[in-house]
Amino acid sequence: MSGTQLEDDISRAQKQHSQIDMGSEWQRLAPISIAYFTASNIKQFAQFLIYVIPALAISSNVFEMHSASYLISAAVGVVSLMSLSGLISYYFYFFRVHNQHIEVKSGVLNRRHINLPFWRIQNVKVEQPFYYRPFKFASVVFDTAGSADEEAKIVAVPLAYAQKLKKHVLANTFDAQNGSPDVPTAPFHANEENEEIVNQRSMKDLIIHGITNNRVWILLGAAAPFYDNASGYVFSWLQSKGLNLDQLLGGESAAWWQVGLYTLTAIVILTALLALLSIGGALLTLYGYTLSRDQDRYIRRSGLLSKQEVSMKQSRIQVITAKQDWLDKLLGRVNLYFEQNTTGTEQHAELMSPSKLLIPSVTVAEVRALVNGAMPDSQIYRIKYKSVSKQFLTFWLGGWIWPLAILLISISAYHQQWQEVGIILAVSIAFTLILILRWWRWGYGYDQRYIYVRSGRMGQDYQCLEKYKVQQISVVQSVFMQRKQIATLKILLASGTVTIPFISEKDAWEMANSALYAAESSRKSWM
Amino acid sequence: MEINDFSNEPVLPDQLPDARVVATHPLSTRYRLMNLISVVVIFSILGIGISILRFQPWLQLPTQLLSVYPLALGVISFLGIWSFAYHWFADPLIRYAIRQQDLILHKGLVFRKVTCQPILRVQHIELKRGPFERLAGLARLQVFSAGGSAHTFEIPGLPVTTAVQLRQFILDHKDLDAR
């Protein structure tokens, strides 16, 4: 770039910046925003009304309100109150764009003062309600990684300024993040030849994936022979409580066992269909699955009818999760997820979600290779996992499940309801077994760079996270845990929380302190 | 980065800065008072409200509703006493600390929770003041990081001047500029 061009660029940037910056004076919105506030107040009121309508309907019957003429005046009153509140909201709203920060002061009773640095803004939306259009106004919504409902909003600015602000902030953001946001892009990149294929899935793998990911239905199908007995039991139990299904279903036309048989057949067919559907779904979305790598970027392509492409920068991976449910375990397969920032992005179906990159039904050997590619030197399967303290069981079983069970059992026994005693006992034992499995599976480990967590009940999940990516850390300890020198560690990542319960206090603090140190001393971005 | 201020000494686990040994500060003493008063006010209004509804002479209420009245009053007073006691004991236990690189908050009555928020990971900051807080001259400082609003780091019950100073400290922090 030549000298003059560079100067041009700089002066243009400065000019643009001076146009964006409003100085330290607090600004009021354009008066058109009163319409906006009124509209949003009415919208909120309408949402509230939906819940109140049943109550209103009942009371209008009781008090014979529907004939009253004051209803109209009441409606008029409500609307004018809304506009008044719109006016008040307008008077209490101030904003400024200054020193690369967006600041908003708002609220009448609950005052809020938001500070939002430009470079922490993930996305900018310019919205134009219909009543803004004739006046060329717009509202600007700023997404941060914080959360969807806590975004900042400048309610009414001239459209031209909104566009300029958006452009400026986004340019700033993508300078900082050095790339575009991770959204599904059109397939077939220009530089496909630079890519190196990391993993591919065959038809067989996808059929396995289809089967293993609808385990519940298969289980239901396998349990079919017992439906008859179970339904008979439920039926007689309901009958003993005075509820007669025969009467409900019209006992004249069909005996209850016929109904039972129909239901059973229907369920079996449905189960088979669902299993097929699941395989079909897996094939449809995952057909021709390839995961390739272009320098620091993972790209997955798949799809039978419409080919989809999702790309994710390696540095954006917050945690790697290797999920293995009991059926996966039997077949020796693992579902591997690369998880990134979940907030701020819209909800997607899990398979195509840009926040979770799925590598379906890979073998354990492949997991090692994949994990090492994304998180070098990770010891996800090699590290010796320390188990969680037995206090976990003491707390849940001794503190919650069994006291509650014993209470319920004694109440039932007092009323001589022996069937209920049996049911409560069975449920508590089931909970106990699940908790014991959970305790047995739960383990943790750490090294210089990573923290590892193992969890699960029947299946087994492994997670690996890089220490410097922590967002926030909590250590929780009850009075009893303190006495036993045990604590629960909660690590907040941009992709969600990772909890390691009831571990030794020393380890919890060692992990907490070292993770904080890794983040604060490296000053590396989590994205 | 300048090469001069770069250092990379090995750090042993027991040399790491420990978030446990930091001296912490209490919240404003008005914070507990404010909570106690608001509990009393809110629950009294509720109790008096349903009592007025119960004993007013103008409207005939269904007998079922009348029979629920003692129970409702009981529940309201139980909840009121419960939250009063909770604030009485739990509020003084909330303490905070500021380190060069992070904010620390201690809270909880039975389950003591120590939360640590690196300033490097702060996305945006908010100062919030509800009606009761404005009467008491207090403010809440909320610090948002990525990972969901359920985990917003919040220091409640700060005197307004302290809250504003704290916000400025975070805004001026060099790590907030890390991109």
For B143-172, what is the mean pLDDT?
A: 88
Find which of B53, B144, B167 to mutate to test the A interface (most A CBs within 10 Å of its CB): B144
For B45-50, what is the mean pLDDT?
A: 93
Q: Do B129 and A120 touch (CB under 8 A)?
A: no
- Facing B110 at nearest CB: one of A144, A146, A479: A479
More confident: B151 or A57? B151
Task: Give A-chain residues touching B17 at CB under 8 angstroms.
Answer: 513, 516-517
Q: To the nearest whole percent, how much of chain B has pLDDT over 70?
A: 92
- From CA A472, how far away is CA A496, in angstroms rounded? 11
- From CA A313, how far away is CA A527, in angstroms rounded? 8
Please give the pLDDT value at position A183: 43
Find which of A102, A115, A347, A448 to mutate to test the B interface (most B CBs within 10 Å of its CB): A115
Write out pLDDT tens, residues A418-458: 988 999 999 999 999 999 999 999 999 999 899 999 999 88
Is the Cβ of B74 closer than 8 Å to some Cβ of chain A? no
Report whether pLDDT(B74) > 80: yes
Is the Cβ of B38 closer than 8 Å to some Cβ of chain A? no
Report whether pLDDT(A248) > 90: no
More confident: A138 or A429? A429
Q: Do B131 and A109 touch (CB under 8 A)?
A: yes
Report whether pLDDT(A64) > 70: no
Q: Do A146 and B129 touch (CB under 8 A)?
A: no
The residue ranges of every structural domain in chain B are 30-90, 95-177
What is residue A142's three-state secondary structure? Answer: strand
Please give the pLDDT value at position A221: 59
Closest chain B residue to A110 measured between Cα atoms? B130
Report whether pLDDT(A388) > 50: yes
Please give the pLDDT value at position A68: 61
CB pairs under 8 A between A and B: 158
Closest CA of chain A from B153, distance in Å: 8
CA B76 to chain centre: 23
CA distances to A264, B44, B82, B97, B138 from B91, rounded to whole Å, are 57, 21, 14, 16, 14
Please give the pLDDT value at position B2: 47
Q: Do A520 and B110 touch (CB under 8 A)?
A: no
Q: Hey, which CATH number is domain A20-177, 2.60.40, 2.30.29, 2.60.120, 3.40.1710?
A: 2.30.29
Residue A9: pLDDT band by 50, 70, 90 thresholds?
low
Find which of A113, A141, A341 to mutate to test the B interface (most B CBs within 10 Å of its CB): A113
Report whether pLDDT(A165) > 70: yes
Q: Which residues pair with A141 in a beta bridge?
A: A125, A153
For A313-339, what is the mean pLDDT?
A: 89
- Facing B147 at nearest CB: one of A119, A149, A471: A471
Q: CATH number of the domain at A386-522, please?
A: 2.30.29
For A50-57, what is the mean pLDDT?
A: 72
Q: Do B149 and A146 touch (CB under 8 A)?
A: yes
The pair of structure tokens assigned to B148 is: 């969901």
Sign of the Cα pseudo-torsion (A346, A349, A354, A357, in order) = positive
Task: Give A-chain residues touching B117 at CB under 8 angstroms.
Answer: 472
Please give the pLDDT value at position A265: 81
Q: Do A472 and B129 touch (CB under 8 A)?
A: no
Lowest mean pLDDT among A310-324, A342-356, B120-134: A342-356
Highest mean pLDDT among A93-97, A269-273, B79-83: B79-83
Report whether pLDDT(A184) > 60: no
Please give the pLDDT value at position A7: 56
Closest chain B residue to A482 measured between Cα atoms? B112
Report whether pLDDT(A220) > 70: no
ipTM value for the complex? 0.86
Strand ordering across the sheet containing A111-117 = A94-98, A101-106, A111-117, B122-129, B138-145, B153-159
* A502: alpha, beta or left? (left if phi > 0; alpha if psi -120 to 50): left
Q: Do A471 and B131 touch (CB under 8 A)?
A: no
Q: Do A477 and B151 touch (CB under 8 A)?
A: no
| Topology (CATH level 3) of domain B95-177 | PH-domain like (2.30.29)
For A307-326, what is the mean pLDDT?
A: 85
